[in-house]
Amino acid sequence: MPGAGGQGLQTIAKIIQGDLGTRIFHITIGGFDTHASQAETHKELWTRVAAGLDAFMKDLEGIGRADDTMIMTFSEFGRRVAENASAGTDHGAAAPVMLLGGGVAAGTVGQQPSLEDLQDGDLKFGIDFRSVYGTLLEDWLGTPAAEIIGTTGFEKLPVVAAPVEAASAMTTLAAD
């Protein structure tokens, strides 16, 4: 399988095909912590991530599991808006999350962050990560969110096309 995380994603596809009962998978792709020469590095990394995810989705389609598998990409940290002296960016507060798969409701959730209205040089986050996790736990995995994230009251997001009792699998792809 081509692209970033290709071998790991290929292994995950085989485990899903084997129906071994695993519901959450996690894979990490490094190299995104770019404090220097960011533009070219990120271009190459995201090209590889796209190729890996495309191949993974094709594998899932080939085994008839694309509709009951959701992929979530996230980063453990955001990037600052301003470029530093080394043509990179330093750690920031907010970062995007992307969801892929047949069960994902199409569209963008949340507002485009302002590049001018910053908080200490960082983008202001618009959606608390607990809303994302809580929604996926309840609407995708059929699990009460409060038992895992330790609280209730976070906004449910319209990201799952048809909430289910318990979906087959969820793969998380962490970029760091």
Distance CA 148, CA 164 (A): 18
pLDDT bracket for residue 16 (50, 70, 90) = very high
pLDDT of residue 158: 94
Nearest partner of 101 among 2, 12, 4, judged by Cα: 12
What's the token pair of residue 39?
């533009």
Model confidence pLDDT, tens digit, residues 29-67: 888 888 888 888 889 988 989 999 999 999 999 999 999
Q: Is the overall model pTM greater than 0.85, yes or no?
A: no
pLDDT of residue 25: 92
Given a contact cutoff of 8 angstroms between Cβ atoms, the answer to whether 123 and 94 are in contact is yes
Task: List the Cα angle 105/132/174 in 5-degree steps.
Answer: 95
pLDDT of residue 42: 87
List beta partners, residue 78. Answer: 92
pLDDT of residue 77: 80
- Name residues whose C-beta falls within 8 Å of residue 19's C-beta, 6 or more positions apart in sequence: none
pLDDT of residue 30: 84
Domain extents for the chain? 6-175
Model confidence pLDDT, tens digit, residues 75-130: 878 888 888 899 888 888 888 899 999 889 989 999 888 999 999 989 888 899 89
| 135: enclosing H helix or E strand | helix 129-135
